[in-house]
Amino acid sequence: MQAYEGYFENGRFIPFGTANIPNRRKARVTVFDETVPDDVGRRLEELDELIAMVLASSDEEVPPFERAVLHREVEL
């Protein structure tokens, strides 16, 4: 059995994390009396936009950059 936390918005369950639920699984939903602050939904939307931008830029070529020299003497 698995449990996921999230919230309902516009008739949809929005999990706080990744929900790997196989198809056609019986589920039980418990609705609590507490509400989720509005900024959580906004932050999740912004995170979705960020992920989309990262995926869209994954084919871009990274320009060469100067390598850092990190020679440090360490005393054990």
pTM attached to this predicted model = 0.43
Q: What is the length of the chain?
A: 76
Spatial CA neighbour of 13 closest among 28, 23, 33: 28
Residue extents of the structural domains in the chain: 6-56
List, for residues 19-76, the tens digit of each pLDDT value.
888 899 898 888 889 887 777 778 888 888 998 888 888 777 878 888 887 777 777 7
